[in-house]
Structure 1
Amino acid sequence: MRPHLLLLLALCGAGSAAGARSYSLRGRWTVRSGNGSLELPGQVPGCVHSALLQQGLIQDPYYRFNDLNYRWISLDNWTYSKKFEIPFDFSKWQKVNLIFEGVDTVSKVLFNEVTIGETDNMFSTYGFDVSGLVGAANSVELRFQSAVLAAAQRSRAHAGPPPLPACPPREQKGECHVNFLRKEQCSFSWDWGPSFPTQGIWKDVRIEAYNICHLNYFTFSPVYDNGTKEWHLEIQSSFDVVSSKPVGGQVTVAIPKLQTQWTYKIELQPGERIVELSVKINENITVETWWPHGHGNQTGYNMTILFELDGGLNIEKSAKVYFRTVELIQEPIKGSPGLSFYFKINGFPIFLKGSNWVPADSFQDRVTSDVLRLLLQSVVDANMNTLRVWGGGIYEQDEFYELCDELGIMVWQDFMFACALYPTDQGFIDSVRAEVAYQIRRLKSHPSVIIWGGNNENEAALSMDWYHINFTYLQTYMDDYVTLYVKNIREIVLAGDKSRPFIPSSPTNGAETIAEHWISKNPNSKYFGDVHFYDYISDCWNWKIFPKARFASEYGYQSWPSFSTLEKVSSKEDWSFNSKFALHRQHHANGNNQMLNQARFHFKLPESTDPLREFKDTIYLTQVTQAQCVKTETEFYLRSRSEIVEQQGHTMGALYWQLNDIWQAPSWASLEYGGKWKMLHYFARHFFAPLLPVGFEDQSVFYVYVVSDLHSSQTVALTVRVHAWSSLQPRCERVSPGVEAGAGRAVRAFAEPVEALLRCAGCSRERCLLSFHLSAGRERVGPLNYHFLSSPKDAVGLRKANITAIISQEGGTFIFDLHTSAVAPFVWLDVGSIPGRFSDNGFLMTEERRRVLFYPWKRTSKSELEQSFHVTSLRDIY
């Protein structure tokens, strides 16, 4: 397969252009309710909910039951308006445009009381020519229609069999027909999020005035010649030429560190014009490539592009160039039917390890730079290298992708279609085509984006008949699916971006899906593509329930967020696992019971007579259970990367569901709303480590695999210890001194019958457990791992541990020196609402002393930490 090769340009800013002026309309607007009874100031970018909150007219929408109490906001038709004067002489400009970067969602636009157009796609930009309307004093008005009412109206007007599903499950307390709108699909509710169908101007809005011609956008595609090994950069620029005569000039592209400078003559005819350029990179210079986190540096090169045109018009852009290649390898595997499904970056096979990203807030104006950096820093701090931007949310803001470029986070980018069938009338298709073309132009400059995905789970929904479709209509739905994702979205992707692969859905069978005419009989096949897997009934400690698939792009288990997070949006009567609040906040059918049923397999449920203590202990136990479940499943995928067992394996990706929370509620997330790490996220930091020992049992034999993400082999020692629950001293030790950790491989390093280990320790399963780690010389490399020989609920000799901490400070970091009186599993250190993270948490304490660091995210003090500090281990909840 020829690799997809990428030379990337990320815009950093623009120089001034002699022929253009821009005036931002950000800031204060007037927001008015449908009948005019309510008028208030509102910020742009922003939404109606935020405007009402900022004026004190509503409480926090996330507080208690406010998602239901404030449903009236989304059902009203609001108007945004602004009066302004242009701070330059508009009469001197040949063309004046009104530009909206993002409108949410259905609106009629008026300029100086004249209707100039409409909007109906949250994910597209809109530009309106107001040259004949603009004056010294101006007004702009957007008359929004309720997204809920607009969706219902479009559903009623739809001809033919209706797209499905119509309404979310009742547990989600949501709204219907969101698939008729090009709007954030989860804003009508999801099984982890509330229903807040927002209205507003959610991105920038501005006036642009220009003479002669204007650069609308420029984007680019890479070209790589395998024969000559030369890089080229194809730049596509779009101009609006308002001159009545052709405009000539030249463009100069310079990348100083690569000793590349190139000048090309151009001539632009009147009207909308596309200019395509090809820049050859100096072949005598060594180019450093961009690598994902954990695999190398994120090297980029400064670049300038200067258009010098007739009339003294100069347009200069500064940019950053990145080089990297991406290949999606689908080829036969020896000993197995089907095809591989893995990624090569810069020619190196990389195991994608990470999670799935959902919108960070229902109200996008609250997702600041600080919020994004905190969440994405937590991704790399947990040794992840990939996020899948899930198709039911939004195409994230520019800064999200810039941070992913900077931090080395690969992005699997879905288009925004999820868990539904969609209309294919011409108006809808035209809107989607404009959306997709715009998003490709916007995002393909980022090295972080490695694949386009057509949708989330819609191939599986059709193939596996999730919606119980009337057979009479089945072919229509299948034809509509191919029309939307293949004949339109895929066509636009292939035309606009040949630098990275496209798959029509997730899960999908990849090349096999194409062979089956785009809808596979089993899109969750273990022999092709990627899989989504959820099983809340079976015991998650039994690794044999998990699919030995090529790539696991979704899997997970729920837990509740910490009490300090819930406390902010609840009151005392809510603090019970069976309260109305707890049931209301759970949007997944039977989710609260599923968490407890999973916990019962291996743990005793909390037994406190104090209701608040029992609630806090139950929250703790759900986090323990989630962390242990996802750990078991992820380690199974990690150790399956290099082997074929019963024709299955060669797993090369593990992206658990989900990374982040949109509000304070039970979910599959490992980061709570606000960024606090759940126990799962601390576990992820271990199980995604570059060098990891993975232990498991099969037919009463204990095995350890060494999993390496390193680019070179390393010789390490493996130590396996048997511990008694009743003692802080290990009872038995096995050392394998010369283990070869193969580069990018999982290799078996240890195998011994459990009975032999127990005899060595003079122990029984119920009285003992195992720990194991890798070392090089005297230094431990990678995390300490462990294996339970029986369920902790059956542990004999497990005593209540008295754990104390002495807190000290070095610079901006706090040191917790811990002491325990007994072996303590799942030790959880909590400092309440003080923002920050520990170096480790949720750990097994088998030694008397342990040092843990705390990294605060805001200024705090030793005394504040001492007052807020609380420690819990498993025996404490009995």
Structure 2
Amino acid sequence: LNHKTISVMGFSLFEFKLKSLEHSYTLQSNTDHLSMSLNGKWRLSNSNASLSLPAQVPGCVHSALQQQGYVPDPYFRFNDVSYRWIAFDNWTYTTTFTVSPEIKQKVLLMFDGVDTVGSISLNGIAVGKTDNMFCRYDFSVRDLLKDGDNVLQVVLLSPVLYASERRKAHSSYRIPPECPPDVQKGECHVNFIRKEQSSFSWDWGPSFPTMGLWKGVQLEAFDVLQLIQVSSVPFYSTCSQWRMQVELHIDAVQTAHGQITLSIPELDSEQTFQMQFLPGKTKSNFTLFINTVQLKLWWPNGYGEQPFYRLTVRGFQDGFLIFNTQSKVYFRTVELIQEPIVGSPGLSFYFRINGKPVFLKGSNWIPAHSFQDQVTSDNLLQSAVDANMNALRVWGGGVYEQDLFYDICDELGIMVWQDFMFACATYPTEADFIQTVREEVVQQVQRLKSHPSIIIWSGNNENEAALATDWFNIPASQRLTYIKDYVMLYVNNIKKIVQEDQSRPFLVSSPTNGAESEQEGWVAENPYDPHYGDVHFYSYILDCWDWRTFPRTRFASEYGFQSWPSFSTLQPVSVKEDWSYDSNFTSHRQHHEDGNQQMIQQAALHFHLPNATDPLKRFTDTLYITQVMQAQCVKTQTEFYRRSRSEIIEGKGHTMGALYWQLNDIWQAPSWSSIEFGGKWKMLHYFARSFFAAVLPVAFEEDDTLFIYAISDLSRDLKLRAVVSVFSWTDLNPVCTLSSDMLLVPEGSAVAIFKQPVATLLAGCGNCTRLTCLLTFHLEDNSSQQGPTNHHFLCSPKDAQGLHRPNITENKIGFTVTLHSDSVAPFVWLDVGNIPGRFSSNGFLMVSRNRTVGFNVWRPTSVAELTASLTVTSLRDIY
């Protein structure tokens, strides 16, 4: 037994730490509170005890089996199907701990997260049950504890069989979809169980219906009371006055009188409140008033800093300090503006942060791993910021992310559009299902509402659209039943709970017409109407280079195209016979119907397809061309949305958000992601770094006329000109260079800055034609270039005359590479295999003889390792 004495605010604090069978507890005498962690090594066994093994908590069954060598890598080849048996068995977690039976007056056994359907017993006596992965559970166990060893057991039922039984019990009418499409190789009835919906499979991910204690387990013991949770939400009043709404969740043993002191020392703000602690769990609200003109606001990435202050909450009883906790607090306001637009039917749809309209630039977040105990999100979130993103939508078929995710978003200025976990389905509305959902929503809002990064709650993903456009072939005679269920779940329950948090808006669904959907009884006739709300749009057959195929929407919250990850990402989970675009492996990994064919068909519209005779080169070249296609498609669509922010054309426009689908991958497979599983940037992510730049030039053609827009997200006006360089495909020297007049580009706007018929432009540039020349362009003020250099192809690269294989050589000095080229080289791609890191630029159009690119390493490496791994590919190298 080790002990130490430290002084806290005049009190002696004795802290004891005791190790007991992999667990530990901490006793603090000033609070008379004992906290004993039960995390660590448990035992895990299946239903017939044929398997018994150590298992880490937090963790899951799949991870334990993998760590103990019972199953190789679940992601290897076809193992997602080979290991289906795991999810069809029941599993039991067991641990033993020692604790004094006279420990405290009240002892709670707390589970921060159980996945999912569990029966808990302590010393052979039933304690309680769980049925919701997203809920925290606690059980009073003082009378069940005994001197010496205490045995805690959690029996988890097969989620697949449980969901199936729940479906059978719901016999009155269908709750579709019954099963995922066959191409997903998934399990059925996931909408009958409150767990990660995508764990039964999705069109970008495998079926791994997990089970486990996926968050922490602990004993909490106390004689007086326990502070369970603190949440703080700021509200702006007037005349620079703010009020901080502080919510305390307290569990008290008996009635007691005391004081609560709230303070933010940096703001000279402190208030003390007299209160009565009532027995059991109670929620108390306090308001801390703050008068200051120097208060620093939290801003999204690109708009300002993300400063925070420290809120101290202290509780006293009879003059003794019984709890003392600190938390970060941020000050910001958010509004969702839906109001009439002059010259347009419909309503606007945009966010104001701290009173300033903000264009949301970013992507959609899916679970970063099939097994939540193996998730790391920091590098992915940093990569989002490095690509000039300011927003992510946490999609409703995954999980409410863990605290660290939102902490990082707060620190990096990433706005979060937070879905509740319902996606692409109808759901039952029996009383017990509604009750567990209500508890889930209450807990998640309490847990997350202190985060300034969360700017909106959204009830579900695509469920309004599913009803409106009849995804599930519901007979007309039953339609009202499903709409009634929809309103009961999302409006009468979820919305009612969430609106108690008045610090941010709530939408019932995404996509939605927002206020218009509400007017239509919450299910609009056309939730994809571009005059309202947010829109999801996908088209894989139409030419993605033609901006006219995209809806000019108020807000684009989902859109995208698939690509394959790089060979270095696929290689560890495959074997040589898999390395072909038409192998069983590539077919197995594609969970979107006809996805592999759609990628090739889209690429073939503008590029020659790989035709190498060497099978491996042909495969790697095909992976490359899918990434080129994806990057160019999403670039075209995103630039269309960004240049539409200041325009209303035929009643459509004022676009104020572009969140492409999707940021990250859950495994090594084709998907819509811009970052591969493991963190490697696809070409799309490098493109995003440019097309999400704060100042951006965008070119497009209409009626054979070239337009260039200057787009600015800055908070100040600019005066800019467009500089256009015309290159021949055969020469690195520009044929000619044109400049526009200097024009005013107001803050937060998109302005047409250059306009000229293509024929006129080419006629003034020697012998240029659409087939022989291409354009690059950038923006300048009076002193320097503003924003990145962009490009515009006057024809499809497959039709370009004079495009030949460049001779590109590399000169490596440290972690930089200088490329030398003798001709124009489109989509130059540097790859260093499985060395983690990213280049300063990649996938670029090379129209200069020399270009230097840096490599930012994410683990120790050497110049020799980089040199040995480096390959350089350009478009002409693949055919």
Common topology (TM > 0.5) = yes
The corresponding residue for 1:72 is 85
Residue 591 in 1 paired to residue 604 in 2? no
Per-residue CA deviation, residues 9-48 of structure 1 (Å, 9 max, x unaligned), is xxxx999851211000001000001111110000000011
- Equivalent-residue separation in structure 2 for 1:422 and 1:815 (angstroms): 54
Correspondence 1:277-426 to 2 at 5 A: 277-281=286-290, 283-310=291-318, 312-367=320-375, 371-426=376-431
Which residue of 10, 13, 27 corresponds with 2:40?
Answer: 27
Which residue of 800, 805, 808 corresponds with 1:803?
Answer: 808
Per-residue CA deviation, residues 158-207 of structure 1 (Å, 9 max, x unaligned), is 14212110100000000000000000000000000000001100000001
- Equivalent-residue separation in structure 2 for 1:646 and 1:14 (angstroms): 68
Residue 767 in 1 paired to residue 768 in 2? no
- Equivalent-residue separation in structure 2 for 1:269 and 1:439 (angstroms): 24
The corresponding residue for 2:871 is 870
Identity across the alignment (%): 57
- Equivalent-residue separation in structure 2 for 1:611 and 1:235 (angstroms): 63
- Equivalent-residue separation in structure 2 for 1:97 and 1:456 (angstroms): 36
Q: Cα distance, 1:690 vs. partner?
A: 0.2
Kindly indicate whether the alpha-carbon contact (under 8 Å) linking 2:27 and 2:35 is maintained by their aligned counterparts in 1. Answer: no
Q: Cα distance, 1:221 vs. partner?
A: 3.7
The corresponding residue for 2:17 is none
Residue 445 in 1 paired to residue 418 in 2? no
Q: Cα distance, 1:237 vs. partner?
A: 1.5
- Equivalent-residue separation in structure 2 for 1:16 and 1:835 (angstroms): 47
2:360 is aligned with what amino acid?
Answer: L
CA RMSD, Structure 1 to Structure 2 (Å): 1.3
Count of aligned positions? 852
Q: Cα distance, 1:212 vs. partner?
A: 1.5
- Equivalent-residue separation in structure 1 for 2:308 and 2:391 (angstroms): 19
Partner SS, residue 201 of structure 2: strand
Partner SS, residue 233 of structure 1: strand
- Equivalent-residue separation in structure 2 for 1:510 and 1:23 (angstroms): 46
Q: Cα distance, 1:651 vs. partner?
A: 0.3
The corresponding residue for 1:52 is 65
Q: Cα distance, 1:729 vs. partner?
A: 0.4
Per-residue CA deviation, residues 456-511 of structure 1 (Å, 9 max, x unaligned), is 0000000000111122221111100000000000000012x110000000000010
- Equivalent-residue separation in structure 2 for 1:102 and 1:572 (angstroms): 41
- Equivalent-residue separation in structure 2 for 1:167 and 1:391 (angstroms): 18
Q: Cα distance, 1:778 vs. partner?
A: 4.8
Which residue of 150, 153, 162 corresponds with 1:150?
Answer: 162
Residue 575 in 1 paired to residue 576 in 2? no
- Equivalent-residue separation in structure 2 for 1:430 and 1:845 (angstroms): 59
Per-residue CA deviation, residues 742-784 of structure 1 (Å, 9 max, x unaligned), is 2000000000010111112221100000100012345322111
The corresponding residue for 2:12 is none
The corresponding residue for 2:144 is 133
Per-residue CA deviation, residues 189-243 of structure 1 (Å, 9 max, x unaligned), is 00000000011000000011001122222323434324x5421112221222212
Which residue of 613, 616, 620 corresponds with 1:612?
Answer: 616
Which residue of 670, 674, 681 corresponds with 2:685?
Answer: 681
The corresponding residue for 2:653 is 649
Counterparts in 2 of 1:15 and 1:837: CA distance versus 1, 3 Å = farther
Q: Cα distance, 1:308 vs. partner?
A: 1.0
Which residue of 61, 76, 79 corresponds with 1:63?
Answer: 76
Kindly indicate whether the alpha-carbon contact (under 8 Å) linking 1:19 and 1:313 is maintained by their aligned counterparts in 2. Answer: no
Residue 717 in 1 paired to residue 726 in 2? no
1:314 is aligned with what amino acid?
Answer: I
- Equivalent-residue separation in structure 2 for 1:778 and 1:482 (angstroms): 57
- Equivalent-residue separation in structure 2 for 1:671 and 1:559 (angstroms): 11
- Equivalent-residue separation in structure 2 for 1:15 and 1:131 (angstroms): 19
Residue 259 in 1 paired to residue 272 in 2? no
Residue 272 in 1 paired to residue 281 in 2? yes
Does 161-170 or 267-276 show the bigger shift? Answer: 267-276
Correspondence 1:492-641 to 2 at 5 A: 492-495=497-500, 497-641=501-645
Partner SS, residue 523 of structure 1: coil
Counterparts in 2 of 1:17 and 1:423: CA distance versus 1, 3 Å = farther
Correspondence 1:406-485 to 2 at 5 A: 406-485=411-490
- Equivalent-residue separation in structure 2 for 1:552 and 1:364 (angstroms): 29
1:26 is aligned with what amino acid?
Answer: N
- Equivalent-residue separation in structure 1 for 2:198 and 2:29 (angstroms): 40
Q: Cα distance, 1:741 vs. partner?
A: 2.3
Kindly indicate whether the alpha-carbon contact (under 8 Å) linking 2:840 and 2:855 is maintained by their aligned counterparts in 1. Answer: yes
Kindly indicate whether the alpha-carbon contact (under 8 Å) linking 2:241 and 2:292 is maintained by their aligned counterparts in 1. Answer: no
2:425 is aligned with what amino acid?
Answer: A
TM-score (norm 1): 0.96
Which residue of 650, 666, 669 corresponds with 2:670?
Answer: 666
Q: Cα distance, 1:337 vs. partner?
A: 0.1
TM-score (norm 2): 0.96
1:316 is aligned with what amino acid?
Answer: N
The corresponding residue for 1:488 is 493
Partner SS, residue 698 of structure 2: strand
Kindly indicate whether the alpha-carbon contact (under 8 Å) linking 1:401 and 1:448 is maintained by their aligned counterparts in 2. Answer: yes
- Equivalent-residue separation in structure 2 for 1:15 and 1:518 (angstroms): 52
- Equivalent-residue separation in structure 2 for 1:444 and 1:140 (angstroms): 33
Q: Cα distance, 1:860 vs. partner?
A: 0.8
1:109 is aligned with what amino acid?
Answer: I
- Equivalent-residue separation in structure 2 for 1:778 and 1:615 (angstroms): 47
Unaligned runs of 5+ in 2: 1-25
Partner SS, residue 81 of structure 1: strand
The corresponding residue for 1:8 is none
Partner SS, residue 190 of structure 1: coil
Correspondence 1:710-859 to 2 at 5 A: 710-761=714-765, 762-809=767-814, 814-859=815-860
The corresponding residue for 2:256 is 247
Which residue of 705, 708, 728 corresponds with 2:709?
Answer: 705
Kindly indicate whether the alpha-carbon contact (under 8 Å) linking 2:240 and 2:293 is maintained by their aligned counterparts in 1. Answer: no
Stretches of 4+ aligned residues off by more than 4 angstroms: 13-17
Per-residue CA deviation, residues 599-628 of structure 1 (Å, 9 max, x unaligned), is 011001001001100000000000000000
The corresponding residue for 1:7 is none
2:229 is aligned with what amino acid?
Answer: Y
Kindly indicate whether the alpha-carbon contact (under 8 Å) linking 2:365 and 2:394 is maintained by their aligned counterparts in 1. Answer: yes
The corresponding residue for 2:108 is 97
- Equivalent-residue separation in structure 2 for 1:239 and 1:207 (angstroms): 16
- Equivalent-residue separation in structure 1 for 2:618 and 2:101 (angstroms): 68
Does 116-125 or 158-167 show the bigger shift? Answer: 158-167
- Equivalent-residue separation in structure 2 for 1:764 and 1:240 (angstroms): 77
- Equivalent-residue separation in structure 2 for 1:741 and 1:15 (angstroms): 61
Partner SS, residue 127 of structure 2: strand
Kindly indicate whether the alpha-carbon contact (under 8 Å) linking 2:296 and 2:331 is maintained by their aligned counterparts in 1. Answer: yes
Q: Cα distance, 1:400 vs. partner?
A: 0.2
Partner SS, residue 23 of structure 1: strand
2:674 is aligned with what amino acid?
Answer: S
Q: Cα distance, 1:797 vs. partner?
A: 0.4
- Equivalent-residue separation in structure 1 for 2:530 and 2:377 (angstroms): 34
Unaligned runs of 5+ in 1: 1-12
- Equivalent-residue separation in structure 1 for 2:490 and 2:526 (angstroms): 18
Kindly indicate whether the alpha-carbon contact (under 8 Å) linking 2:422 and 2:460 is maintained by their aligned counterparts in 1. Answer: yes
Per-residue CA deviation, residues 28-82 of structure 1 (Å, 9 max, x unaligned), is 0000011111100000000111111111111100000000000011111111110
Partner SS, residue 755 of structure 1: helix
Q: Cα distance, 1:254 vs. partner?
A: 1.5
Kindly indicate whether the alpha-carbon contact (under 8 Å) linking 2:298 and 2:307 is maintained by their aligned counterparts in 1. Answer: yes
Kindly indicate whether the alpha-carbon contact (under 8 Å) linking 2:235 and 2:333 is maintained by their aligned counterparts in 1. Answer: no
Kindly indicate whether the alpha-carbon contact (under 8 Å) linking 1:165 and 1:177 is maintained by their aligned counterparts in 2. Answer: yes
